[in-house]
Amino acid sequence: MASPGPAFLLAQLGAHAARRFAERVAELDLTPPQAGLLRSVAREPGLSQQALAAHLGTPPTRVVALVDGLEERGLVERRRNLADRRLHALHLTEAGAALLREIGRVGAAHEDALLAALALLRREQLRGLLSRVVEEQRLTEGVHPGYRTLRDTRASDRETPGPVVR
């Protein structure tokens, strides 16, 4: 039985990393999708829910549910567009921005613990290799594929050149 190749190690470690991160953000009463949404809203404030859903590659209904929970807690707000009252622009509240900074701290601690086996130079080396793969695979920067449905993934493969699949 051959020892696992890099593709399996990626899946294995990726799931492990995601789980550990989930445990850490749970201390902030957040799930990873919620944390990701906060991050995305901060990255480009004012997007409509549909636009955000498209960026994340998720059905709009999921954004509604996520925003519902975060809005109740005063972390994000929906601002109705006066010109087109169907649109709800998403913005972080001050509390949301503060929590996002907390998420950043949690993420740094997570990374440090996860990569304890590697010195800083090696981590940078790893980051370089991974980002090359991310780019070639046409993954959206900063978006976890957990948002993306199988069907949506295939659809976007048809629209764009995409990575070579043999």
Residues linked to residue 90 through DSSP beta bridges, in sequence order? 78
Tokens of 46: 């004012």
Residue 65 engages DNA in binding (rule: CB under 7 A): yes
Tokens of 29: 């009463």
List the interface residues with DNA, window 19-48 (CB under 7 A). 31, 33, 48
Helix (H, G, I), strand (E, B) or coil at 33: helix
Cα–Cα distance measured from residue 52 to residue 40, given in angstroms and rounded to the nearest whole number:
8
Q: Burial of 94 by CB count in 10 Å (0-12 exposed, 13-18 middle, 19+ buried)?
A: exposed
Residue recorded with tokens 């294995």: 12
* Per-residue x/- track, 92-111, DNA (CB under 7 A): --------------------
117 or 150: CB nearest DNA: 150
Cα–Cα distance measured from residue 28 to residue 102, given in angstroms and rounded to the nearest whole number:
8
Cα–Cα distance measured from residue 131 to residue 49, given in angstroms and rounded to the nearest whole number:
28
Choose one: 57-65, 69-77, 81-89, 112-120; the region binding a second copy (CB under 8 A). 112-120
Choose one: 13-21, 38-46, 82-90, 124-132; the region binding DNA (CB under 7 A). 82-90
Closest contact distance (angstroms) between CB of 23 and a second copy is: 7
Q: List residues near a second copy by CB under 8 A.
A: 1, 3-19, 21-23, 39, 42-43, 107-118, 122-127, 129-137, 139, 141-146, 148, 150, 153, 163-166
Write out the residues near DNA by the rule CB under 7 A: 31, 33, 48-51, 58-62, 64-65, 67-68, 78, 83-88, 146, 148-149, 151
